[in-house]
């Protein structure tokens, strides 16, 4: 009997299947410190217990993307070990904060299947749920990936393409219990800009840049127990470079966006996302954002901004996303569409 995990192939999925992912993970101040060493993270709610308490929370939660990466990482051995491409995200919501000491696990339900016309691969849609040690929902999101078939001769499954929302409706965003921005300290947070200062259509150049090293992205990717070989094995490519986990670029861009969006404190919705081009060690990454929408919320003093976050390489122009052919420009690494909470 072969003991190692060969991963699932396209034929191994069926609509309605629920996969419980392995290796629950307890998160603590250690993971938080590493997150702050790996990324230029400075959003005050996640940096300071005292600041979070002034916002009605019991203390600083784990960064919202720590929760995402941990939940995502657990799905890799079951969903994307034989994936050709990570195609998109939708309907992502953070349902409750993760606190130091919490233990996360993940499960995914297959909600769509579509074989490609070449008969060699297909697209699998899954809704992934992250649960804490009490079985409470921490976050969920839909993700779809292109997966190899084990056997090209295997019959195609019935095509099921799930109907997915273009974005999470503001009324569906879940606000952390107790969150209150009415006594928000803009000086300690780092910038004076509040919800009313941002206009739909506004583009913000986040200015700062970070050049990525192999050791850094591997430390990050391992921390989330993401086992995808392409991130770790230099022998897979002739140039010896390892493909950087797309989530590493997400966290780089999000934390760089502090400079201009310091008050967009908590991510509560993930509307869409595309890894437009691959990222490698040696690349210098910067970011720009576009305000896509605005909404009020039921929490005191709390508004929501819908933001497009774009990670780019040198030479990029803030606001320039696609070429004349409608395709992503070559200098675009990431196009992420999310909701964040910001003081009114």
Binding to a second copy (CB under 8 A) within 130-169 occurs at: 133
Pairing between strand 284-296 and 210-211?
A: antiparallel
Of 14, 18, 33, 183, the residue at the interface with a second copy (CB under 8 A) is 33
Site for a second copy in 61-90 (CB under 8 A): 77
Q: Distance between CA atoms of 142 and 160, rounded to whole angstroms?
A: 14
Q: Which residues contact 99 (CB under 8 A, 6 or more apart)?
A: 58, 59, 61, 62
Q: What does the CA dihedral 106, 109, 112, 114 come to, rounded to 10 degrees?
A: 70
Of 25, 95, 96, 294, the residue at the interface with a second copy (CB under 8 A) is 25
Q: Distance between CA atoms of 306 and 320, rounded to whole angstroms?
A: 18
Phi-psi region of 172 (alpha: psi -120 to 50; beta: other; left: phi over 0): alpha
Judged by CB under 8 A, which stretch of 110-118, 145-153, 188-196, 269-277 contacts a second copy? 188-196
Q: Quick one: which of 256, 252, 250 has its CA closest to 213?
A: 252
| Per CB under 8 A, 277 contacts a second copy | no
Site for a second copy in 198-217 (CB under 8 A): 204-211, 213-216
| Per CB under 8 A, 219 contacts a second copy | yes
How many angstroms separate the most distant Cα atoms in the chain?
63
Of 14, 18, 20, 323, the residue at the interface with a second copy (CB under 8 A) is 20
Judged by CB under 8 A, which stretch of 86-94, 158-166, 255-263, 265-273 contacts a second copy? 255-263
Residue number, 177 or 197, with CB nearest to a second copy: 197
Q: Quick one: which of 250, 241, 245, 255 has its CA closest to 224?
A: 245
Residue number, 24 or 162, with CB nearest to a second copy: 24
| Per CB under 8 A, 306 contacts a second copy | no
Of 120, 229, 322, 327, the residue at the interface with a second copy (CB under 8 A) is 229
Provide the minimum distance between the beta carbon of 92 and a second copy in the complex, in angstroms, as a whole number: 24
Binding-residue total with a second copy (CB under 8 A) = 77
| Per CB under 8 A, 17 contacts a second copy | no
Of 227, 251, 271, 297, the residue at the interface with a second copy (CB under 8 A) is 227
Work out the burial of residue 55: count CB atoms within 10 Å of its CB; fewer than 13 is exposed, 13-18 middle, 19 or more buried. buried
Q: Quick one: which of 267, 308, 270, 271 has its CA closest to 290?
A: 308
Q: Distance between CA atoms of 100 and 210, rounded to whole angstroms?
A: 28
Provide the minimum distance between the beta carbon of 83 and a second copy in the complex, in angstroms, as a whole number: 16
Q: Distance between CA atoms of 98 and 224, rounded to whole angstroms?
A: 15
| Per CB under 8 A, 223 contacts a second copy | yes
Q: Distance between CA atoms of 25 and 227, rounded to whole angstroms?
A: 14
Instruction: Give 343's DSSP letter.
Output: E
| Per CB under 8 A, 296 contacts a second copy | no
Residue number, 299 or 342, with CB nearest to a second copy: 342
Of 65, 164, 220, 253, the residue at the interface with a second copy (CB under 8 A) is 220
| Per CB under 8 A, 30 contacts a second copy | yes
Q: Distance between CA atoms of 38 and 30, rounded to whole angstroms?
A: 12
Judged by CB under 8 A, which stretch of 89-97, 116-124, 148-156, 227-235 contacts a second copy? 227-235
Residue number, 20 or 165, with CB nearest to a second copy: 20
Judged by CB under 8 A, which stretch of 152-160, 229-237, 267-275, 327-335 contacts a second copy? 229-237
């Amino acid at each position: 009997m072969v003991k190692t995990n060969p991963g699932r192939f396209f034929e191994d999925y069926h609509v309605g299947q629920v996969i419980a992912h392995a290796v629950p993970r307890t998160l603590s101040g250690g993971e938080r410190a590493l997150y702050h060493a790996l990324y230029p993270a400075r959003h005050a709610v996640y940096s300071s217990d005292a600041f979070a308490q002034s916002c009605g929370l019991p203390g600083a939660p784990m960064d919202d993307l720590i929760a995402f990466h941990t939940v995502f990482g657990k799905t890799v051995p079951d969903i994307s070990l034989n994936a050709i491409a990570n195609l998109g995200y939708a309907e992502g919501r953070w349902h409750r904060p993760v606190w130091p000491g919490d233990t996360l696990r993940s499960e995914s339900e297959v909600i769509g299947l579509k074989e490609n016309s070449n008969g060699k691969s297909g697209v699998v849609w899954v809704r992934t749920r992250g649960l804490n040690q009490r079985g409470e929902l921490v976050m969920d999101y839909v993700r779809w990936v292109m997966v190899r078939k084990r056997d090209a001769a295997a019959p195609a499954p019935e095509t099921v393409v799930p109907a997915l929302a273009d974005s999470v409706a503001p009324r569906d965003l879940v606000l952390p219990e107790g969150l209150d921005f009415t006594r928000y300290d803009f000086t300690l947070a780092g910038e004076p800009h509040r919800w009313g200062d941002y206009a739909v259509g506004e583009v913000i150049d986040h200015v700062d840049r970070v050049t990525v090293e192999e050791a850094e992205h591997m430390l990050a990717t391992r921390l989330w127990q993401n086992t995808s070989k392409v991130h770790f094995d230099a022998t897979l490519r002739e140039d010896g470079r390892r493909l950087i986990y797309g989530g590493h670029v997400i966290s780089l861009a999000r934390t760089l966006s502090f400079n201009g969006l310091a008050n967009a404190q908590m991510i509560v919705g993930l509307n869409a996302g595309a890894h437009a081009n691959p990222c490698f060690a040696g690349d210098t990454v910067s970011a720009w954002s576009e305000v896509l929408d605005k909404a009020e919320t039921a929490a005191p003093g709390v508004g929501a901004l819908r933001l497009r976050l774009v990670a780019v390489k040198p030479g990029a122009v803030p606001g320039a996303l696609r070429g004349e052919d409608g395709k992503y420009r070559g200098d675009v690494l990431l196009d992420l569409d999310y909701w964040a909470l910001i003081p009114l």
